[in-house]
Amino acid sequence: MFAETNKRLECQLAQRVGKVFQSFPGFGSSDCRCPSHLFFSEELPALQEKAVAVFKGLLKGKQVIIEEY
């Protein structure tokens, strides 16, 4: 999942998602103080729903689009 924005939201997203889902320590966070920027869930829809909810909160109502690859 990725988002295009001119705001730096990666750490805020990681901190909020990390409260709910298992992470891979140190992954993607070598340039900050976050424990991780990669998360795991056996329930992918639950992880996606949480990430989208956090994005919506951080972007204050702007549209969030999920694309599958």
pLDDT of residue 43: 86
Q: Which residues of the chain fall below pLDDT 70? A: 1-4, 61-69
Residue 61 has a pLDDT of: 64
Q: What pLDDT does residue 34 have?
A: 92
Task: Determine the Cα–Cα distance for residues 9 and 54; give it in Å rounded to an integer.
Answer: 10
pLDDT of residue 24: 92
Which pLDDT score, from 0 to 100, does residue 5 have? 72
pLDDT of amino acid 6: 75
Partners of 40 in the β-ladder: 22
